[in-house]
Each structure stands twice: as C-alpha cells, then as structure tokens.
Amino acid sequence: MKFTSLVLALSGLVAAQQWPAEYSNPLLAKVLLCSRTDGFRHDSIPTAVQQLIKWGPYFNISFDATEDQDKFTVENLAQYDALMFVHTSGDIFDTTGQAAFVDYIAKGGNFAAVHAAATTYMLKPWAPWTDTLGATFLNHPRRQTATFVKQMTGHPATNPAPDRWTFDEEVYSFTSDPRKLGAKLLWSVDPTSYKENSDVEAQGTPHPISWYQDYAAGASPKSGGPGPGIAGRSFYSSLGHNNSTWMDATFMQHILGGLTWTFGSNTTRVAAGLYNGVDPTVHTGASSTETKPWSPVLGSDQVAPAPPADAVRPTSTASSYQPDETGGTSSSTSTSGAVGLSSSAWAVGLVAMGAIFGTAF
C-alpha cells in the first residue's frame, strides 16, 4: 500500500513539472557546438555557450560544446543532427576538419551559425564554409540601438519576435548577397534606425541580418549519409554580439528556433516536431498570410532529459524582464520567465514521501 501511494505521489510530482505542451517534443537532437577562435574572440562566448546548454532541454537539444579541432572527423560528426558555430573566427579547421565538414554537409548534415561565425575564413576564403553560411562579414558601425525588420512569418526563427524588433546590437554588413546562393531572408535592418549605415550595395536590399538555406550551398550532395543524398539545411543570424543579448528570451527563441528548423531537413535522425506545423511564409505584400502544412520528418530513438533547474523556459507571457545595461532595450513582447523544476512541487513530493514512510524532512 505504501509502495502504491509512493508511486502515485511521485507520478503527481512528475506531472506537476511537465513542460508546456508547445515545447514538448520527445525527440532529442544532438548538436556539436563549436566556439573555436583563430582571431578576434568575443567575450560573450561563455555566456552564449552556457545559455544554449541551459535552454537546450526545452527545445529537446543536447549540446556537446567544444573548441577542439580533433572533434571534426567524418566518424565523429556522423552522430550529430547539426553543427552549430557561435562566434568562431579565422581558420578553425585543420585539413582533416575541412574534409569532415564538407563530407558532413554533403551527406545531409545541418548547419547553424551565429554572429562572428561570418568572420570565419574571412582572410583566407574557403568556399565550402562561406557558401554554407551564405556570406562573409565586411564591417559594422559602433554598437547601438537598431530596429530589425521581420521578413518572414511562420518561421521558428521569427515567430517569437515582433515585426519590428529594436535593441542594442552590432549591425553586420556583408561582402555579398546570400540570396544569390538561394538563401531566404528572415530578418533585415531598417537603415534609418541607426547611424553610420555603410549601405553596402554588394549585400543586396533589404540589408540581410538573418537567413536560411533549404539546401546548404557549400558542398555538392553525395550519398552515404542517413538522408536521401541531399545537402543539409543552413541557418545564420548575425545578431548576438552582447552578453545581454544572450540573456534575452526572444533572442534565445530566435536562435534555437532557427536551429530546430534545420532538423526538418529529412536528412538526420531527428524530427523538427516542435512547431507542429506550417511552412514559413515570405512577405510579398501586406496581405501575404498564406501558410501550408508540412509533413513530419524522421525521428530519433533518444529521449530528452529533464530541463536544468536554473534554465529559463521560453514563454509568451509578459514579464518585467529588461536587458542589462550593456544590452539596450527590446520592443519584443516575448520575454523570459523564471523557470526550472518547481521547488514547491519538490516540496509536495518530499512531504508525500515523508507521510508515507513516517519520515520528517
């Protein structure tokens, strides 16, 4: 009887700590998170890595963080659903790593990159990297408040944010237009919203800030991977310079939304699953609201772990959250909330066990 009561009590405890339904995906993606630098190094790298690892369970992602070139081999990369590069710079691969990267993308591996990753192979251009990411960094004005403009609706990398998203950030310009490689724009920047706008003609109009490629342009597809012999997906965001940006809930949903979108490539083990729903819609005018359903993709046999106690759960509930003094302000209505495993729920569980076994806690 006591055992049955304990099971029931623990079942109630687990139920009390389930994630919100919209973030419940039983599939766990494995992502290799690389922050290796061979040049300028952002001081927000530790914050970025920490936040991604904390948020990962809420998006059913397991990150392996590394700055080790030796992790980039054909054999090791084969286990990952995506490679993610945060603030990488310079020449980050050795010869073995370059070959493994090309092989991975060509066999359907997915790619995501953030901010300074666009400076990787900037001085020694390497087409497989540049084309997979979509463009190379050119310059940026001083850090300041700017307004970023949503160019696509219905996409996980744009859903959490307002149509005009204003906060303190570096505004990157690029040496070329990613759309010439087939990229589709997620975010642009309003050129009137910030000073020292360099207005680079080569990058196209509107000024690209974040984009994706359905098939990464950096490698010729080849068979031998888990997918049907097509290149994997690519996502890039130039945002993320500040430590405070990485502490903003809307930004984290933007980045992880873009990453989870790559899992829908049908070329790796895991399914997109999270957003249940619709292909993104490109803005072609004020009345463009059409969406169309898309099919589920391949699944994984792995199970997501419980979220860490100090993680911040994505939420659409308004709060009083404000970025810290280095991060400016945001017009976003999606803000962070305190999260983790409920201390009150644990207390209920402990009290229940104490009652069952006659033990005081």
**What is the structure's pLDDT at 263?**
85
pLDDT: which is higher, 304 or 106: 106
The pLDDT-based confidence of 53 (bands split at 50, 70, 90) is very high
What 8-state DSSP symbol labels residue 275?
T
- In sequence order, the β-bridge partners of residue 65 are 33
Q: What local confidence, expressed as pLDDT, does residue 186 receive?
A: 97
Instruction: Please give the average per-residue pLDDT across 336-353, as a whole number.
Output: 33
**What radius of gyration do the chain's Cα atoms show?**
21
Q: Return d(Cα 100, Cα 184) in angstroms, integer.
A: 26
* pLDDT score of 223: 57
Structure-token pair, residue 263: 């899992």
**Whole-number pLDDT of residue 346:** 34
For residues 122 and 252, is the Cβ–Cβ distance under 8 A? no
- Which domains does the chain possess? 1-17+343-361 (no CATH), 25-341 (3.40.50.880)
As a dihedral over the C-alpha atoms of residue 251, residue 254, residue 258, residue 261, rounded to 10 degrees, the angle is 140
Per-residue burial over 231-267, b if 16 or more Cβ lie within 10 Å, else e, is bbbbbbbbbbbbbbbbbbbbbbbbbbbbbbbbbbbbb
Q: Is residue 28 predicted with pLDDT exceeding 90? A: no
pLDDT at 125 over 60: yes
pLDDT tens per residue, range 210-245? 999 999 998 776 655 544 567 889 999 999 999 999
Q: Which residues contact 341 (CB under 8 A, 6 or more apart)?
A: 17, 306, 307, 309
Instruction: Identify the residue with better confidence: 78 or 25.
Output: 78
pLDDT-based confidence at residue 181 (cuts at 50, 70, 90): very high
Q: What is the pLDDT of residue 88?
A: 98
What's the predicted TM-score (pTM) here? 0.71
Cα distance between residue 64 and residue 30, in whole Å: 8
| Average pLDDT of the residues in 72-100 | 95
